[in-house]
């Protein structure tokens, strides 16, 4: 087969696909090392919990971070639209004695799970923190 070819739906070349976990995928063949038996390679899927938002309200004492594991740590940022500071402490701590994050401030948490942190506010209001795995 030529390196470059046009595909017109309903005619011409057929692109091979497979269905796995109820999702259709195009088959791509990589020839590494020359002639040999064809086999399918399975690679880990993209982590669907790569990032998220934790909402915090003054009506709740502290919000525990989600049970999200990542050995590389997390980037945590106070949402820029917050009107109050967010505080974070190790789980079970007092948010009033925690470290404050002003709107748009961020920090890198090297812990392996977000549930090791609690988030809170000391003023009346609400806010949120955004997080992403590193």
Residue 55 tokens read as 């909402």
Q: Specify the 3-state DSSP secondary structure of 116.
A: helix
HSE-CB for 58 with a 13 A CA cutoff: 11
Distances (CA, A) of 125 to 51, 86, 90, 116, 134: 24, 10, 22, 24, 30
User: Looking at domain 51-133, which of 2.30.30, 1.10.150, 1.10.20, 2.60.120 is its CATH number?
Assistant: 2.60.120
Q: What is the pLDDT along the chain (134 residues), one digit of tens a residue?
A: 455 566 666 666 666 667 766 766 666 665 666 666 666 655 555 555 678 888 888 766 677 888 888 888 899 999 999 988 888 888 777 656 678 899 999 999 998 998 898 888 877 888 889 888 88
Residue 66 tokens read as 């989600």
How far is the C-alpha of 124 from the C-alpha of 116, rounded, in Å?
25
């Amino acid at each position: 087969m030529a390196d470059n070819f046009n595909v017109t739906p309903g005619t011409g070349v057929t692109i091979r696909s497979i269905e796995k976990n109820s999702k259709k995928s195009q088959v791509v063949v990589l020839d590494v090392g020359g002639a040999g038996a064809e086999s399918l390679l399975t690679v880990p899927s993209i982590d669907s919990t790569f990032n998220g938002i934790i909402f915090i309200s003054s009506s709740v004492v502290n919000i525990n971070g989600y049970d999200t594991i990542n050995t590389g740590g997390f980037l945590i940022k106070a949402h820029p639209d917050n009107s109050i500071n967010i505080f974070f402490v190790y789980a079970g701590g007092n948010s009033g004695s925690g470290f404050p994050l002003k709107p748009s401030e961020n920090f890198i948490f090297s812990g392996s799970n977000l549930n090791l942190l609690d988030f809170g506010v000391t003023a009346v209001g609400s806010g949120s923190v955004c997080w992403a795995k590193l």
